[in-house]
Amino acid sequence: MAESLAGDSAQPLKHVAVIMDGNNRWAKARGLPGHEGHRAGVERVRDMIESCRRHRVEVLTLFAFSSENWQRPALEVSALMTLFSTYIKKEAKALHERGIRLRVIGERERFSSRLQKRIADAEALTLNNTEMTLVLAVDYGGRWDIVAATRKLAQQAVDGSLAVDAIDEEVFAKTLCLGDLPQPDLCIRTAGEQRISNFLLWQLAYSELYFADCYWPDFDASAFDDAAAAYFQRQRRFGLSQEQATDAEDDRQLEPTRERVSA
């Protein structure tokens, strides 16, 4: 197994978010119906999980179905829902055996009661796993996430359990779907498109963006290595100047040495 490219990097790669794009175009290029592209895309998820484990990524969030995807042709939507349901049924036990926690974020009201139960059962089965967290964003939209968080905080303010002055960025962030997880360090989008398409709008504020030209079914371990390598070559500034960011990185790299000396 190849080693992580992180090494002693001052910028760890804890959370990777992926916009899995290009399934339909992949199928069309091969003269196949669109659902075959989605099926191939589901198979690629397993490889993505292994790549993340190899690079010691703690959280992998996959944009599987957006709020806007309901507008696609009915047959395609039906095929996507069937694939999603089948994936949950087949993979929940395998994920659990590997110590991976499964979480699904997004609205669930439009899912069938059977699918809602299947999701809940899979989440309950894997709830206490700590090796890695796999998040599937299904019927998810970044705007919906922000509006839902706003409504929760507004209701708490109306109920008197939360003072308006207490609402700040930290409180708001914790109210979002991924509020208990680290913010994404890297967001990957496949198929050459260069936009985030209403995905994790708040959470991606300072994420590094990487756009791959290949379709999602072709995004293999080597492609992930390229994305990770590009990430580790960048300097994350979070609003600082280049000099300030460099000094901060140097300080973080010295921390282990200081701990050994003090010990």
The residues, any chain, with a CB within 8 Å of residue 193's CB and separated by 6 or more, are 19, 21, 211
C-alpha to C-alpha distance for 232 and 195, rounded to whole angstroms: 21
Do 123 and 104 touch, CB atoms closer than 8 A? yes
Q: Kindly name the residue from 47, 69, 198, 226 that is annotated as catalytic.
A: 69
**Residue 211 burial (CB count, 10 A):** 16
Catalytic residue among 21, 139, 145, 185: 21
DSSP category for residue 68: G
3-class DSSP assignment, residue 74: helix
CA–CA separation, 89 vs 101, rounded Å? 15
Q: Which amino acid is at 101?
A: R
Q: Is 69 a catalytic residue?
A: yes
Residue 21 a catalytic site member: yes
Q: Give the catalytic positions in this structure.
A: 21, 69
